[in-house]
Structure 1
Amino acid sequence: MILAIVIFLLVYAFIVTEKIHRTIIALFGAGILLVFKIVSYEYAIHHAIDFNTLGLLIGMMIIVFITKRTGIFEYIAVKQVKLSKGNLIVMMILLSVVTAVASAFLDNVTTVLLIIPIVLSITEDLNISPLPFAISIIFASNVGGTATLIGDPPNIMIGSKAGLSFMDFVNNLTPAIFIILIITVLIFALIFKKQLKVDEELKEFFLKIDESEYIKDKKLLVKSLFVLGLTIVGFILHDKLKLESSTIALFGASFLLLISGVDVKEVLEEVEWTTIFFFIGLFIIVGGLEITGVIDILAKAMLNITHNNPLLTTIVILWGSAIFSAFVDNIPFTATMIPLILEMQKLGHLDVQPLWWALSLGACLGGNGTIIGASANVVTSGLLEEKGYRLSFGEFFKYAFPTMILTIILSTVYLVIRCYM
């Protein structure tokens, strides 16, 4: 247990200081855990590594990279400039709202894979930094994903184990998320107002451009949009289809490769393999905390301090989930908390309904706290890095962590009013 904690803290220290590339240090930390048999090979393969997340990432990256070849992202980028009349604040707000709505029905990773290429096209054309847009979009994707049963993995897990329906999440969480989204979008618009300036001549130039000229391959565009649409429908219906989201994404990717005629080697070279392997290393490191009982001890300690007081238990779960999920993947933490809440339900000590909403809000919104707090954050950082932009741990933390704390304060007020007044 001590070694698992030490390795986790050291890996995290190197990620924060950025002395070594995060993928290298994550894989090295995972390697130590495997070599010293703290995490067995079998546990790593069957439990620690989330192949559903990896499959979803790879499948959607392939679909997005093939679709990108058609010029559709550049087309949408110019359309966005025209729609906002070159006002970058309006553009940021529009993109953030679209991201949040899409994330409520799609996986957050899928949403940022679709939106970030558009942002990169806009900022490249206007010769400005994409970082303010990227930070706002990361936040919006995690906020929007909290609103529904299918928006974020913790919600899917909670809904499945607690027997909660799609409408249960909509009725209990969407009102809070609507308020949080409006406030956070306005906050980022104010924070980045001075940075979002564009040359007037350049703005006028883009307002005169015919965006249809950017479409390079109409046949490929039709095929790509057909497969993308089919994949999105699959995500929405995945529960009824009894298929994992990774299965749907990989099927969509292979189908598009089959009908597009694009060179498979070229497409696979574009996949963010550094991000994929970072996730593999991180999953094993968190698996070390899980198998040695660290996460279980933290979760139980969090509940023990409340002495079965309903309001205090709700607040502790909300804040504990948020802080924990900012630094460690929220999936294993949620998996640990669910049986504990179910046990409380069996004992009949208190009404557990508010606890589910506290866990969902804390686990999902807490991921906004750091650059490695949620999958969408890591993927966005990787996409930016490919284009030569570095969204460092410190830069993201400076803007995101205080805003994340504000969202948890708002969630606390919401839960107290809704559940205890």
Structure 2
Amino acid sequence: MSTGIAVVVFVVAYLFIATEKIPKTAAALGGAALVLAAGVVGSEDAFYSHETGIDWDVIFLLLGMMIIVGILRRTGVFEYTAIWAVKRAKGSPLRVMILLVLITAIASAFLDNVTTVLLVAPVTLLVCERLGINPVPFLIAEVLASNIGGAATLIGDPPNIIIASRAGLTFNDFLVHMAPIVAIELLVFTLVLPWVFRGSFTVDPERAASVMDLNEREAIQDSRLLIKCGGVLLAVFAAFVGHSVLHVEPSVVALLGAGVLVLISGAKPKQYLASVEWETLLFFAGLFVMVGALVKTGVIGQLAELAADATGGDALTAVMLILVVSALLSGIIDNIPYVATMSPIVFELANDIQDPVHADALWWSLALGADFGGNLTAVGASANVVVLGIAMRAGSPISFWEFTRKGAVITLITIALAAPYLWLRYFVLT
């Protein structure tokens, strides 16, 4: 009974989110309320369980970084960066997109991808406003790039942290095994941008010329506050990168950074809280509760086990099946809870494989499938949801299907490239 309720509620809520018949936050919170009211999950499951509850690390990481970004916005640095980017791209929208995509992807490898899009999205909105072009294609391209670039390192995407913990993998392991394919994926992604986003690069020459005449240095409104923000951000980023040494969660780092910056900036609550995407945070909370109900009732575990049983003990079949299934399921239910559920199964599969190289390939298959699969739909990864929230508040809403049409194409391309990479590296060249 509980299983049926969890599945029906999730499917119906997902349909409402996809069709946008009602606001996505209302759909997520409504679904969460139903599974709580039906007793499928209780308060212990929803609010305190690491396996089935709200991922407070994600919520508070977002909250902390939103506050930091809100204070940083007062300095004028986003306007400065926007003008700088347009001038470096000589006013060409396509060059602007490529530049912002590369910045986003590289930054996502060393920060988490959610933090990166929180910093890049405001710049993008300003660039597009200056050029008089639609920001939606640029925002979608950046979030797709963030999910690709974040796959390169242990800290770039939350699923990688879960995998590293379960498999005993290090930061260097991810660099050696994931960074090469990510570099290839990013190159191909950049090459297909003109095709995927065709029709998005028309600009009024006069608008472009007017931006070229601007002096970006005049955009800085408060240099003293910028220095304070820069110091806090450097400390926060250093703590993110040093996570494996410091053992301090990114959420704690973000909240500490936000607290320090609020204190030294003298910002009033109205100023820094105005930048917090409350609807996005509530949407995440509702989604986590609904997915937690699927985890508790064993639905996700059963799906993962069915995929594992279908391999028939063959390592290559297992690798390819995990890659494809991970891409599909991560795009539907968010890749964080999926990887948390799937990793114990992959651990058991890896233990049953004699060749250690083939066993490791299972983990890299899971990481690639989950990270790249996050691009499949608008709710496949945390960064996607954050960007949709920012776009909505900026008056340039991105529909579920508008994102998914682009994301599905990129997911297909990235998984199609990942499959031969796994086969060649771990089964042919070993």
TM-score (norm 2): 0.96
| TM alignment of 1:41-60, pairs within 5 A | 41-47=43-49, 48-60=53-65
Q: Given the superposition, is the C-alpha separation of residues 348 and 209 from structure 1 closer, same or farther in structure 2, using an over 3 Å criterion?
A: closer
Question: Per-residue deviation at 1:41?
Answer: 0.6
In structure 2, the residue matched to 1:8 is 10
Question: Per-residue deviation at 1:194?
Answer: 2.6
Question: Per-residue deviation at 1:266?
Answer: 2.6
Contact 1:126 1:202 (C-alpha < 8 Å) held by counterparts? yes
Q: Does 1:28 align with 2:30?
A: yes
One-letter amino acid matched to 1:98: I
Contact 1:136 1:185 (C-alpha < 8 Å) held by counterparts? no
Question: Per-residue deviation at 1:204?
Answer: 1.2
In structure 2, the residue matched to 1:344 is 349
In structure 1, the residue matched to 2:305 is 300
Which deviations, in whole Å up to 9, do the C-alpha atoms of 1:356-388 show, x marking residues without a partner?
A: 000000001000011111010000010011011
Contact 2:70 2:271 (C-alpha < 8 Å) held by counterparts? no
SS at match of 2:377: coil
Which deviations, in whole Å up to 9, do the C-alpha atoms of 1:174-203 show, x marking residues without a partner?
A: 111111111112212333243211111111
Contact 1:92 1:189 (C-alpha < 8 Å) held by counterparts? no
Which deviations, in whole Å up to 9, do the C-alpha atoms of 1:140-160 show, x marking residues without a partner?
A: 000000011111111111111
Contiguous gaps of at least 5 residues in structure 1: none
In structure 1, the residue matched to 2:67 is 62
Q: Does 1:269 align with 2:274?
A: yes
In structure 2, the residue matched to 1:40 is 42
In structure 2, the residue matched to 1:234 is 239
Contiguous gaps of at least 5 residues in structure 2: none
In structure 2, the residue matched to 1:212 is 217
In structure 2, the residue matched to 1:389 is 396
Distance 2:66 2:320 in 1: 38
In structure 2, the residue matched to 1:92 is 97
Question: Per-residue deviation at 1:349?
Answer: 5.5
One-letter amino acid matched to 1:389: S
Distance 2:416 2:349 in 1: 25
Distance 1:213 1:190 in 2: 36
Aligned length: 421
Q: Does 1:321 align with 2:323?
A: no
Greater displacement, 185-194 / 217-226: 185-194
In structure 2, the residue matched to 1:173 is 178
In structure 1, the residue matched to 2:227 is 222
Contact 2:69 2:275 (C-alpha < 8 Å) held by counterparts? no
Distance 1:400 1:341 in 2: 26
One-letter amino acid matched to 2:110: F
One-letter amino acid matched to 2:137: P
Question: Per-residue deviation at 1:165?
Answer: 1.3
One-letter amino acid matched to 1:134: L
In structure 1, the residue matched to 2:384 is 377
Distance 2:351 2:410 in 1: 36
One-letter amino acid matched to 1:330: N
One-letter amino acid matched to 1:21: P
Q: Does 1:358 align with 2:377?
A: no
Q: Does 1:80 align with 2:85?
A: yes
Q: Does 1:412 align with 2:419?
A: yes
In structure 1, the residue matched to 2:19 is 17
2:293 paired residue among 283, 288, 291 = 288
Question: Per-residue deviation at 1:69?
Answer: 0.7
Q: Does 1:257 align with 2:277?
A: no
Distance 2:343 2:410 in 1: 27
One-letter amino acid matched to 1:29: G
One-letter amino acid matched to 1:346: N
Distance 2:29 2:410 in 1: 30
One-letter amino acid matched to 2:4: I
Moved over 6 A (4+): none
Let me know the Cα RMSD of the aligned residues.
Answer: 1.0
Distance 1:92 1:126 in 2: 12
In structure 1, the residue matched to 2:108 is 103
Distance 1:64 1:416 in 2: 42
SS at match of 2:152: coil
Distance 2:404 2:192 in 1: 15
TM-score (norm 1): 0.98
Question: Per-residue deviation at 1:329?
Answer: 1.3
Identical-pair percentage: 45
One-letter amino acid matched to 2:20: E
Question: Per-residue deviation at 1:398?
Answer: 1.3
Question: Per-residue deviation at 1:269?
Answer: 2.9
Which deviations, in whole Å up to 9, do the C-alpha atoms of 1:231-281 show, x marking residues without a partner?
A: 111101122111110000000000000000111233113210000000000
Q: Given the superposition, is the C-alpha separation of residues 347 and 413 from structure 1 closer, same or farther in structure 2, using an over 3 Å criterion?
A: closer
In structure 2, the residue matched to 1:161 is 166
In structure 2, the residue matched to 1:199 is 204
Question: Per-residue deviation at 1:407?
Answer: 0.6
SS at match of 2:274: helix
SS at match of 1:39: coil
One-letter amino acid matched to 1:113: L
Contact 2:351 2:359 (C-alpha < 8 Å) held by counterparts? no
Greater displacement, 342-351 / 36-45: 342-351
In structure 2, the residue matched to 1:311 is 316
Contact 1:59 1:246 (C-alpha < 8 Å) held by counterparts? yes
Question: Per-residue deviation at 1:348?
Answer: 4.2
Distance 2:383 2:338 in 1: 18
One-letter amino acid matched to 1:154: P
Greater displacement, 154-163 / 13-22: 154-163
Contact 1:27 1:277 (C-alpha < 8 Å) held by counterparts? yes
Distance 1:345 1:69 in 2: 51
